[in-house]
Amino acid sequence: MAEIICVIGNKGGTGKTTLSHMLAQGLGLLGHRSACVLTDTTREPLSPDGRRYITADARTRDALTKVVDKLRTLPDWIGVIDGSGNRTEMDRKLYAMSDLVLMPFRESHEDIRTVLRDLDMFQRGYAVPTQWPTNAWQREAADRAVAQLMGVHRERILHPVAALSASKLLLQKKMPEQLPTPVANACRALARQVLQVMEIGEPDEVIDACDEDDHVGGRLSAADMPMRSSFARG
């Protein structure tokens, strides 16, 4: 039976769609069969050509139910539902059908305040710092803000996903068959930590020869923000 991951949150502009496609691509690069499911009625479906995952159109409630029901019948698949659209009612529905919930947020205090409310609302959810600054000074300031404002939830915060301009290639109608190495590495790093949270191993036959930088963007400063000591499912 497939595992279902939902990417949700009440704040717009946090990169939910980008994160969903990065995760699905990373899972595919690691040898897992995955699908990225579109639910936002303001977006158009993307071609699966060149991707390491399939795409599914679930922009109506009936379509979403059918897609999830179909995925549940597929052993060893992982469905990634892009819950963009900032709809609390839909977020609750997706949360109820999910095995894992991811809630991306950027470094602004507004984003942090919103994701704190979402963490309280969705107890099985994990926060994901996204589009995280790569400039050393900005990164330090962002990490410090998270440490100060989100310390109580530190075990529910995943490694940051760095801001990579080339990640927009994943959102093209037809994606290029070859992604830039930093983007591919970031997709793999994101997928690996999600698999660890879900206690799912990588297929034995996968040889990840292109994995030059497994933790693109790194993690929050250990001194300021201790990360989770284990990845056991909450």
Kindly report, residue by residue over 38-87, the tens digit of the pLDDT.
999 889 999 988 899 999 999 998 999 999 999 999 999 999 999 977 67
| pLDDT digits 0-9 by tens, 210-231 | 444 443 333 333 333 333 332 2
User: Average pLDDT, stretch 165-185?
Assistant: 93
28 vs 16: CA distance, rounded Å: 18
